[in-house]
Amino acid sequence: MPKMKSKRSLMKRIKVTGSGKVMRQHAYVSHLAANKTTKQKRQLRKSTLLHKSDYKRVKFLILK
């Protein structure tokens, strides 16, 4: 049986750090920015860690 491939759509959206944690981008940034405060928009620009409850699902998809 051949090796399983990683889900490329997910690989484009996340980054695995050196220690094995998974970084992701925030949602709610793409439009309707006029309704958001400057602080909110600034904090949404930064990437954040993936929640621990999602690790099992993501680990299977990226196969690392």
Would you list the DSSP string of the chain? Answer: -PPPPP-HHHHTTEEE-TTS-EEE--SS-SS-GGGS-HHHHHHHHS-EEPPGGGHHHHHHHHT-
Asked if the structure places residue 1 within a domain, the reply is: no
pLDDT at res. 64: 57
Asked if the structure places residue 46 within a domain, the reply is: yes
User: Number of structural domains, the chain?
Assistant: 1
- Split at pLDDT 50, 70, 90, the class of 1 is confident
pLDDT in tens, 12-46: 999 999 998 999 999 999 999 999 999 999 999 99
Domain that holds residue 12: 8-62
Asked if the structure places residue 2 within a domain, the reply is: no
Residue 40: give its domain's CATH number.
4.10.410
Asked if the structure places residue 55 within a domain, the reply is: yes
Asked if the structure places residue 33 within a domain, the reply is: yes
